[in-house]
Amino acid sequence: MTAPDLRSRFAATLHALLRDAGADTETGVGTGTSSGADPSPYADNLLARWAEPQRRYHTTDHLTAVLDHIDTLAEYADDPDLVRLAAWFHDAVYRPDRSENEERSARLAERALPEAGLSDDGTSEVARLVRLTTTHAAEPGDRNGAVLCDADLAILASGPDAYAAYTAAVREEYGFVPDDAFRAGRAAVLEQLLALPRLFRTPYGTERWEAPARRNLASELASLTG
């Protein structure tokens, strides 16, 4: 998906939320909100972040995939447009050598979204969802969280070629880590995921993605541990 397409997608999501909140969006998508803010600079800032050179997997391709998966899972969310905004922000701050990316991404959302006209409640929910991607441990009944986490983890259920490309891109992002340390750290992550009673929380994810994701994770773990 091209940058203009993504920019329009961001603006459409933001305008839908403002319209549902009773805001005046008669000026049309991309031309302004009731707060006087134009969505385009916010989208451009986010797209620039998603295109940073240190990224290999956490790129605009990943953003597009997560947004597409949210569209597929939208019926399971209470507020699918808030989930879409959370997808835009969930890896907006991404440094592979840092551990506070999700928190910094959430704080970015807390600064930007009120300026763009989103309500305090909407902003808080987006920030909560972004922070949830630290663990992907959505609680029972957290329909928005389940959709975002499933969409973000859907790559784990991809076919062999796509999964191999994903793991290769992750390794590139951590190119500064020696092989032995990376293998040990990655294996620990895979073991933690496989120990979860469920990787996916939505009915769609449980039915379509759970089994292939576990096969992929187990196969990768075996290749790392010999």
Please state whether 36 falls in left (phi above 0), alpha (psi between -120 and 50) or beta: left
pLDDT, averaged per 10 consecutive residues of the chain (226 residues), comes to 89 92 45 60 97 97 98 98 98 94 98 96 98 94 98 98 98 97 96 93 98 98 94
Please tell me the predicted confidence (pLDDT) of residue 41. Answer: 94
Residue 4's pLDDT is 84
E runs forming strands in the chain: none
pLDDT for the residue numbered 2: 83
pLDDT for 22 equals 63
CB distance 83 to 71 below 8 Å: no
Instruction: Tell me what pLDDT residue 121 has.
Output: 97
The structural domains of the chain, ordered by start, are: 3-225 (1.10.1300.10)
> Is the distance from CB of 37 to CB of 116 less than 8 angstroms?
yes
200-211: burial string, b at 16+ Cβ within 10 Å, e else? bbbebbeebbbe
